[in-house]
């Protein structure tokens, strides 16, 4: 297989097909890790695509059709792979934004994303994604934030508002550990599939989890911090700017167990 395979509506993507997609970032997507034709939290990815399609285009892509497009992308391959599903429409543009239309489906199959394992050094940045509840294709701000963090000697960026309330990271959610409890920040952000899988797994393993506003001034009260997304069940945070966290190996292992307790769902 080539490193990356792209299809639009179940057919190999041509330059003409990709023209509008390249020139416009109006759309939504979700990314998942596939193995043996199954995905942890597939229901979450499908629900995300349905909700975002209605929000952005006025019409959803039927679930059966989404599953068919995903299976066409896999073409019987067992994986593991990363599979990204984008929704877009060449009927909507900056000059003609009013159409209500079922979006087209772009699938991108590529090598699997390796989970992060080394504790991360995060740079605080005052920033919020546009319409943060949407996993949309307008990623300029995220790329710029990560680039600035790398140039400053950090591994990634952690977003806060002007009052120091923590929300999310560039491509992940963050959680904080206080004793036997995980605290999730309450702020405008994307509800990540990895975060939801952890919450499901923690409930099944009877681990404590709460959601409340978290401010930079609260950092000294936490024992540890971690990030999570669809490729990384949990990865420890070493530092947030000047604040250093202690080792979290045991807590991270428990979180990974919680994530792995979720069954893979067949596409």
Instruction: Indicate if 164 and 217 belong to the same structural domain.
Output: yes
| pLDDT, tens digit (0-9, with 9 covering 90-100), for 68-90 | 999 999 999 998 999 999 999 99
Has residue 115 been placed in a domain? no
| pLDDT, tens digit (0-9, with 9 covering 90-100), for 40-71 | 999 999 999 999 999 999 999 999 999 999 99
Has residue 267 been placed in a domain? no
Instruction: Indicate if 188 and 230 belong to the same structural domain.
Output: yes
Instruction: Indicate if 90 and 138 belong to the same structural domain.
Output: no
pLDDT at 17: 85
Query: Into how many domains does the chain fold?
Result: 2
Instruction: Indicate if 150 and 216 belong to the same structural domain.
Output: yes
pTM here is: 0.94
- Rounded to a whole number of angstroms, the distance between the first and last alpha carbons of the chain is 20
């Amino acid at each position: 297989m080539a490193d990356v395979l792209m299809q639009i509506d179940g057919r190999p993507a041509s330059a003409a097909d990709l023209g509008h997609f390249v020139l416009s970032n109006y759309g939504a997507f979700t990314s998942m890790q596939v193995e043996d034709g199954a995905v942890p939290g597939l229901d979450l990815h499908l629900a995300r695509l349905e909700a975002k399609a209605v929000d952005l285009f006025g019409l959803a892509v039927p679930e059966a059709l989404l599953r068919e497009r995903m299976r066409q992308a896999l073409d019987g391959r067992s994986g593991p792979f990363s599979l990204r599903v984008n929704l877009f429409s060449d009927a909507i543009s900056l000059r003609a934004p009013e159409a209500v239309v079922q979006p087209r489906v772009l699938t991108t199959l590529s090598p699997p994303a390796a989970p992060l394992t080394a504790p991360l050094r995060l740079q605080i940045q005052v920033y919020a994604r546009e319409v943060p509840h949407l996993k949309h294709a307008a990623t300029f701000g995220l790329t710029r934030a990560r680039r600035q963090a790398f140039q400053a000697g950090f591994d990634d960026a952690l977003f806060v508002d002007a009052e120091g309330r923590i929300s999310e990271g560039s491509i992940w959610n963050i959680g904080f550990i206080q004793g036997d409890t995980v605290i999730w920040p309450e702020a405008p952000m994307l509800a990540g599939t990895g975060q939801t899988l952890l919450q499901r797994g923690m409930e099944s393993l009877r681990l404590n989890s709460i959601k409340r506003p978290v401010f930079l001034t609260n950092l000294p009260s936490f024992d540890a911090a971690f990030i999570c997304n669809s490729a990384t069940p949990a990865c420890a945070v070493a530092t947030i700017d000047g604040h250093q966290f202690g080792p979290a190996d045991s807590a991270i292992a428990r979180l990974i167990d919680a994530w792995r307790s979720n069954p893979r769902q067949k596409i």
